[in-house]
Structure 1
Amino acid sequence: MGEPLHDETFGRLEWDAVLKCWLGGIDWPPGLYTEVAIWLPNGDLAAGLHQARESLNWLRGHEEQARLAVAAEMVKVYNDAWRDEDEPITAAEFAGRTELARIGFEDDGSLLLSYDGRDMFGGHVIDGVFDADRSFSGGKLIG
C-alpha cells in the first residue's frame, strides 16, 4: 500500500506487507504507548479506519471489563501452572498485574487485545479475543 499515512486518531501508520495491515501506536490509556494494528475490510482504507475508530471508542469505555474478562480466564492457567506465590491470586489481582500492549482491529470488526503479563508467564503475551459484537471469545498465551 506504500507510503505512511497520518490519521487524526491513530497518528502515523505504516503499511506492513507481511502482516497486510497498518501499524502504529497511540497514547492510550493515557501515558501508555499502545501498539495498534488495523486490518482493512475488503482492502477499504476509509472503512477500516472508521471501524477501528468505533472499536477504539468502545474500548475506551470498556477496557476494564475487557481486561477482567481476560483475567477471569487466564488466572486459572496462572494459578495452576505458573504461580510463584504460595496462594492463588484472584482475577482482579491478575488484571492489576497486566498492561495493555497492543490493540488489533480486525477486518471483521473483532478486537485482539494483547496484554503484557510482566513476569507472570515468563515474558509471554496474553491475548484476548473479542468478537465484533464485543463478546469475549477466549484468551491464550502467545510467544
Structure 2
Amino acid sequence: MDLLEYMRSQDSMTQAEWERTFEDEGREILVLLAGGSGAGKRNGFWDVSHYFIAYVDCQTGALHTGDGRIVYPVSDEEHDAGGILDRFRREAVYRLKARKKIPHEVPEGVTASSQNQFLIVEVLEEDASCPALDKVLTEYRKPVVLNDEELGELTLDKDLDMFEGEVLWRGEQICVSLEVDAADEDTWADARRAMKVMLAEQDRWDGDMRSSAARELTELACEWRESADEEVPEITEESFARRIELRSIAMEPDGSFSAYFDDDDMFFGHCVVVYGSLTDGVASAEMAG
C-alpha cells in the first residue's frame, strides 16, 4: 500500500474501527505536551491530536523521549462549536489513563509521531509533578542556533520543526525556513545543503520561478484586474514576472521547496506561491493567502 492509499484507508475509518487500532487496556502515563495540536476529519468524527515530546510509563517508571500524540475523538457538533484545541496546555505535564496505539506496518512517509499515539481514556491530573519530564522540558526550552557561513544565523522553532533565518537573494534580504525533523540532525544538514544549492544558482531559479508563475497566473490576474474599483495597468506575462517580489523560501531536506512572492496587488494582496524541487525544477504556481 502506498502513502496515498494508506491515508485514504485511515480517513475512511469509523470511530469504532479507529478505536480498535489502540490496545484494549489503558495504562497510566505522565506526558509532556509540546509542539502544537490539530484535528483531522475521519468517517463521522474528528480525530483531535495534541503533540508530546516525552512520556513516563507510571507502572515501570521508564522515560520515553520522542515525538508523539495524545488523541481523542469529537463529534461534528463539538468541532463546529469551537475550542476543541484548547483542552490541553502546551509545555505542561498531564497524568492520563490512555490506550497505546497498536504497532502496524506503514508506508514510507508516515511520520513517527503518528505511530506513537495514546488514546485518552481519562485525564487524572493536570500540572502533574515529574522531575524526569521537567528536565526534558528544560532542555527543550534551550534555544538551538546554527551559524552557517553562507546561510547566516538559523534559529530552530521546535514546535514547527523549522529553522528560520534570512539570506541575500539577488541583492535583497528574504526569509528562509528549513523544514526539518528537530530530532534528526541529518535532516538539518540535508536542508541546509539543499538551500545552499538553490542559493548558488539564484539567478536561474529566480528567472524560472517568475516565468513559470507568469505562464500559469497571468490570465487569472487579468480577470482580477477587471474587477478592480479603479483603473490599473494592463498585465502581461512580462509585467507579471517583473512585478512579483520574492519574500521567502521554505526548503525541505529532499530539495522540495515552496517560494512565496508578493503579488504587487495584482491579486489584491494575496501571495503567489511557486512549488518545485531541485531535481525536477519548478512544478507549479498558485495564488494563495
Please confirm whether the aligned pair reaches a TM-score higher than 0.5, indicating the same fold.
yes
Query: Which residue of structure 2 aligns with residue 37 of structure 1?
Result: 177
Residues 194, 278 of structure 2: 8 Å contact kept: no
Residues 103, 112 of structure 1: 8 Å contact kept: yes
Secondary structure of the equivalent of 1:126?
Answer: strand
- Report 1:49-64 matches (<5 A): 49-64=192-207
Report percent identity of matched pairs: 25
- Report 1:28-107 matches (<5 A): 28-30=169-171, 32-40=172-180, 43-44=185-186, 45-83=188-226, 84=228, 88-107=234-253
Query: Which residue of structure 1 aligns with residue 266 of structure 2?
Result: 120
CA–CA separation in structure 1 for the residues paired with 2:165 and 2:223? 36
Secondary structure of the equivalent of 2:201?
Answer: helix
Query: Which residue of structure 2 aligns with residue 24 of structure 1?
Result: 165
Residues 55, 105 of structure 1: 8 Å contact kept: no
Query: Which residue of structure 2 aligns with residue 139 of structure 1?
Result: 285
CA–CA separation in structure 2 for the residues paired with 1:36 and 1:136? 18
Instruction: Tell me whether 72-81 or 87-96 shows the greater mean CA deviation.
Output: 87-96
Q: Greater helix share, 1 or 2?
A: 1
Residues 144, 155 of structure 2: 8 Å contact kept: yes
How far does the alpha carbon of each residue in 1:24-83 deviate from its partner, in whole angstroms, 9 at most, with x for none?
1112221x1100011237651222211221122233333112211111111121112344
The structural deviation recorded for 1:87 is: 7.5
Residues 213, 284 of structure 2: 8 Å contact kept: yes
Relative to structure 1, the CA distance from residue 78 to residue 52 in structure 2 (aligned partners, 3 Å threshold; closer, same or farther) is same
Relative to structure 1, the CA distance from residue 7 to residue 90 in structure 2 (aligned partners, 3 Å threshold; closer, same or farther) is same
1:12 equivalenced with 2:158 (yes/no): no
Higher relative contact order (CA 8 A, sep 6+): 1
Bigger Rg, which one: 2
The structural deviation recorded for 1:20 is: 1.1
TM-score using structure 2 length? 0.45
Aligned alpha-carbon RMSD (Å): 2.2
Secondary structure of the equivalent of 2:156?
Answer: strand
TM-score using structure 1 length? 0.85
CA–CA separation in structure 1 for the residues paired with 2:177 and 2:212? 22
CA–CA separation in structure 2 for the residues paired with 1:61 and 1:123? 26
Instruction: Tell me whether 102-111 or 59-68 shows the greater mean CA deviation.
Output: 59-68
Query: Which residue of structure 1 aligns with residue 110 of structure 2?
Result: none
Instruction: Tell me whether 1-10 or 68-77 shows the greater mean CA deviation.
Output: 1-10
Q: Which runs of 4+ in 1 moved over 6 A?
A: none
Residues 190, 254 of structure 2: 8 Å contact kept: no
Query: Which residue of structure 2 aligns with residue 129 of structure 1?
Result: 275
Note the residue ranges of structure 1 that are not aligned, 5 or more in a row: none
Tell me the matched-pair count: 142
Instruction: Tell me whether 97-106 or 13-22 shows the greater mean CA deviation.
Output: 13-22
Q: Greater strand share, 1 or 2?
A: 2
The structural deviation recorded for 1:131 is: 2.6
